[in-house]
Structures are given as structure tokens and as C-alpha cells.
Structure 1
Amino acid sequence: MTSLAPLRRSAAPADDPAPSRRRTDRTPYVLIAPSLVVLLGVLAYPLVKVVILSTQKWGVAQIFSASAAPSFVGFDNYKTLLSDPDFWTVLVRTVVLTVAMVGLSMGLGFGIALLMRQVPAWCRRGMTFALVMAWSVPTFISTEVFHWITEYNSGVANWALGMQPHNWYTDATQGLAVATAVVVWGAVPLIAITLYAGLMQIPAELVEAARMDGAGTWGVFRHITVPVLRSLLAMLTTLSVIWDFQVFNQIWILRNGAPSSDYYTLGIYAYVKAYAGHDYGLASATAVLTVVALLGVMVVYLRQIAKIGELS
């Protein structure tokens, strides 16, 4: 038995890399720890505070009087919210707007990316410059520009369509269509530039082989372009859903800070409940339900990010 111990010791390699590998594996966690601490401090506290507020009765009295402590109401705010027909109307409107905005943004962005691959270099540089310039315009400015374009008396849109004068905002459907155009106009540059970068990563040999096998333009697009860009398309789509589901500024500015109820999205609905109705508990419950609704989309987004990281 005593002779086996030296054999076991000699069987192990002299320079075992396992300890150093274990030390190296901790390095990313150490490097990311400061950022995580900051994120927890900046994001976790407000989120926890909103969840707590959603279970309390918070109104004007609690704001102006330190002695008026908020009362715990449990899930009453959620019951009130879910039994309110206006909430469900706003939710459906938000979902429909999100689908329209994301669909148009992704369709136009993908189309522009494909076009950029086909045009000459000088034209592609001009398109890239124009997209970056459009992307750099603040939301407030771009929304005001669209507001001017659709102005009642002297709007360019009314003049071009030959229906001057025309009020685009009397009918909420037309007003929300303008808001959708503002959102799409701001979202397309990022999508187009990102997808163009993805298109440039498709090996030319793969496309040539497909064409030699008899694949036409549609066949190459369907069987090569889309599968190669699937992860990138999914990431951009989920990111667009997260952004567009929370649309607020464009509608609020177009309606001069006083949108009627047929313009409400979930973000505007929560804001009005909080600052016009002074029911902060109900507004917090709306915010919590919005976060819950987006959790599934966020999980998809994080999975796509992880997949892209594995592929690279």
C-alpha cells in the first residue's frame, strides 16, 4: 500500500493548470462587480420602491403631510386596475402600436440594409451618413419636425397630399399614425446599419455556391441571408419591442402635453394616474404590470445576446 502513494503523486502532471484556470474563471466576475453594484444601486432601489408603492394607498395627503403614513392595501390596486375597462383598452392599443412600430421599423431597416449592399460605394457612404444624422437627432426635435410637417394650416404633408387644411389629430387613429412614423423614423437607422454590418459577414463563397446550385435571389435570401442573420434579427426585434412598448415622448409632444384618453398608452396611462389623478399606488401597479409584461421579451433578448456571444 505504501508503494502506491508515490505512483499517484507521479501520475499527476508537474504543472497542473487547474488552479490557474480556476483563478482565471473568477476574473470576469471581479471585473464586472463594480458595474453590478452601481446597477443595483441605481435600478434595484427604484424598482423595489415601485413594487412597495403598488401595495399602498398613496395620494395627496401622503405627499404634503409627513404624519399621513400610506396605508397597506395589498393587491387592491392591482384588482382595481385589472377590473378597469380603460386599462384593457389602453393595453390593447399599446400592443397594436408596438406591433405596427416594430414591424415597420424592422421591414424598412432590413430593406435599406439590403439596398446598401447593392448600391455603389459613394452612394452607400451617403446613405450611412444620412442614417447616422437621422439617428443623432433628439426625440424632442424629430417629433417637433413631424408636428410641423402635419400642421393644420401650412403643413407640408397637407400641401403634398392636396388636402389643406386638415387636422391630423382630431382622429386618434391618424394622430397615432403620425406618432408611429416618428418612432419608425428614429428606429430605422440603428436597424439598417446593424443589419448591413451583419450582411457584410455573410461569406461570398456561400452565396456563390448557392447560386451555382440554382438558387435565385429569393432562394439566397430565404436559405442563406435570413438563417445567418436570424440571431441578429431576433435581438433587434426584441430590443425594438422593449423600446416601442414604452413609447411616451412622441405622443406626449405631438399632443402638446395633454393627450386625450384615446391616445393613451400604458406609459401615458400610468403618468396620468400618478400626476393628474394623484393615485401613485395605482400608477405604480401599472408600472409593475408593464415590467411583468416585458419580462418575457427581456429574457428572449438576453438569450439572443448570449447566443451571439457564443458564436463570436
Structure 2
Amino acid sequence: MPLPRRRRPDPTPYVLIGPSLLVLIAVLAYPLGKVLVLSTQHWGVSQIFSPAGPEFVGLDNYTQLLADAEFWTVLARTLVLTSVMAGASMLLGVAVALLMQRVAAWCRRTIVFALVLAWSVPTFISTEIFAWMTEYNSGVVNWALRITPYDWYGDATLGLTVATAIVVWGAVPLIAVTVYAGLVQIPPELVEAARMDGAGSWTLFRHVTVPVLRPLLALLTTLSVIWDFQVFNQIWILRHGAPASDYYTLGIYSYVKAYAGHDYGLASAGAVLTVLLLVGVMVVYLRQITKIGDTP
């Protein structure tokens, strides 16, 4: 009995994705390769003007970076900030989505319009608005709380709280609209059956809504972690381009090392370590996409 012939894979998806993949490789491959090479070199001001070029130092930049106590402090601060930002964004986003499910149609359209409007505001503008709201003498927040004058940025914890509020404010719209789109796809008969069994709102959310939306929630959480891990603009703009060391995240730390300390090799090593940390999160992201794609 002849064996069945193996079906040839359809090349159409590869042909369609090919141009985009080539563009991504062209745009990203050189910068990533250049940063990787710089991380193994001693690059400073003297090397910029020296005809001899930079000196190859192998893994010395990584050794120096990992031996720096400030680096570990910055890493811990970045991880904590990322967790708080992503967690608050998801909680508020899901809450707004549940609210949209319960209000009248005209109110829901108004909420969606406001969310899209907030999401469309550039980071620079939204950060400047929050900076004005928390201004020392005439900020509207200080006026509302009757604490004028008050310095929100003298303490890094309060300053980073403001930065967190900006990030969450910009992240909630996408999360809320996406989760609401998932909520309307839950089969009504599944909800009705749960209510007939005596399930209340919390039980329905815990045992019906969350299990059905778990892949989507995991995907949004992973994306939030990736975005929030790279937060730079909000903190940088709030502190007028000169944040104190208590405000450093990994991105700011690497930037300051490169352009203030003129140690481009060490800064490149920090950038490489940041990319490696994000690759681990991206693996989780790709797995979630695969799971959603395999869901019938």
C-alpha cells in the first residue's frame, strides 16, 4: 500500500510576510549589531577623535556593569515600576471595560470617544499637562488638595508616582477597548446559565469572564510589561532632561552613561542586558499569540 504523499506547505503566508520581515531586519539588524559590538569595546571621548579607533575589551563592560551597585538599584527600581504600572493599567482598564458593558449605549460611545481621544495625545503633551497640574506654586492638583505650594518632585517616590499616573493614563484606553471587545464575544448563553445557577456578579466575573478572556488578558499584560519596562519620556520630561539618580530606570541609566558620562561601551552593555531581559518577556508574548491563534 503506497504511503500518502506529504502535502506541501502553502508558500503564500511566507511570501506575504517576506517584505515586512526584510524591512524589519534592515532597520533593526544594523543598530542591534552595532550596539553589540560597542558593548565589547572601550568607547569614550578620546576614542571618538583618535584615528586608532576603540579598543576591544571583551566582556569587561559587562563585568564592570554587573559590579556596579547602582546598576542593581536601577534594575530593581525598573522592575518595581514596571510591575506597578502594568498592574494598575490592567486593573483600571478591565474596570473601565466592565463599566462600558453595563452603561447605556450613548454613555458607552462617549466613554469610547474619550478613551480614544486620551490615547491619541502624544506622550510629550500628556507629560507636560501632568507637569503643569503638579506645578509647585499654581498646579491644579495642589489647589484642589489645598496644599499649595507643594513640591511633587523633591521626593523621588512622589515624582515616580506622577510618572506612573501618566503611563497608566495613556495605557488604560487600549486595554479598556480591547477587553470590552472581548467581553462582547462571551456567549450570552454561558452567562445566562451561570446566572440561573445563582452566580452573582463577582462569581460570574471570576468563573466565567476571566477564564474566557484569560488568553487576551495574558496578552495585554505581557504587552504592558514590555511597554512599561522601556518607560523613558515621562520621567525625562518631568525632570526637564536632568533627572536625579533616584529617578533612573534602565533606559535613563544607559542614556546618562552614554551622553553624560561619555562611556558608550558601558552604556551599550546596559542596552544589551535590557534587550536580553525583554527577550524573555517577548517569548511569553509570542506564546500567548500562538495560544490565541490555536484557539478554535
Using the size of structure 2 for normalisation, the TM-score is 0.97
1:68 deviation in Å? Answer: 2.7
Report the Cα distance in structure 2 between the residues aligned to 1:227 and 1:297, rounded to whole angstroms.
22
Q: Does 1:89 align with 2:73?
A: yes
Residue of 136, 143, 147 corresponding to 1:163: 147
Q: Which has the larger radius of gyration?
A: 1
Deviates more, 1:274-283 or 1:55-64: 55-64
Quote how far apart the aligned CAs of 1:213 are.
Answer: 1.5
User: In the comparison of the two structures, how many residue pairs are matched?
Assistant: 296
Please identify, of 301-310 and 202-211, the stretch whose mean Cα deviation from structure 2 is larger. 301-310
CA distance, structure 2, for counterparts of residue 31 and residue 100 of structure 1: 39
Does 2:14 match 1:34?
A: no
> Residue 264 of structure 1: which of 248, 258, 277 is its match?
248
Structure 1 residue 106 corresponds to structure 2 residue 70: no
Instruction: State the 1:64 CA deviation.
Output: 2.7
AA aligned to 1:33 is G
Q: What's the CA shift for 1:263?
A: 0.5
Matching residue of 2:44: 59
Match of 1:212 among 185, 189, 196: 196
Question: 1:200-279, aligned counterparts within 5 Å?
Answer: 200-279=184-263
| 1:176 to 2:155 alignment | no
> Which secondary structure does the structure 2 equivalent of 1:198 belong to?
helix
2:273 paired with 1:289: yes
Unaligned runs of 5+ in 2: none
Aligned partners of 2:158, 2:21: CA distance in 1, in Å? 43
Structure 2: distance between partners of 1:31 and 1:280: 39
SS in 2 for 1:25: coil
- C-alpha separation between the residues in 2 aligned to 1:64 and 1:148? 42
Deviation at 1:306, TM superposition (A): 1.3
Specify the alignment match of 2:121 in structure 1.
137
> C-alpha distance in 2, partners of 1:257/1:218?
45
Q: CA deviation at 1:61?
A: 2.1
Q: Distance in 1 between matches of 2:84 and 2:49?
A: 42
8 Å CA contact 1:231–1:304 kept in 2: the answer is yes
TM-superposed deviation, 1:245: 0.6
Code of the aligned partner of 2:148: Q
Alpha-carbon deviations, 1:263-305, whole Å to 9, x = none? 0000000000000001000000000111111111100101111
Cα RMSD for the two superposed structures: 1.4
Letter in 2 for 1:173: T
Structure 1 outlier segments of 4+, above 3 Å: none
Q: CA deviation at 1:219?
A: 1.3
Q: Which runs of 5+ in 1 are unaligned?
A: 1-7
**Alignment match, 2:174:** 190
Q: 1:73 aligns with which of 46, 57, 61?
A: 57
Supply the distance in 2 between the matched residues of 1:75 and 1:276 (Cα, whole angstroms): 22
Identity of aligned residues (%): 74
Taking the aligned partners of 1:109 and 1:35, their CA distance within structure 2 comes to 31
Cα separation, 2, equivalents of 1:178 and 1:64: 41
| Matched AA of 1:28 | P
Verify the 8 A CA contact 1:61 1:68 in the aligned structure 2.
no
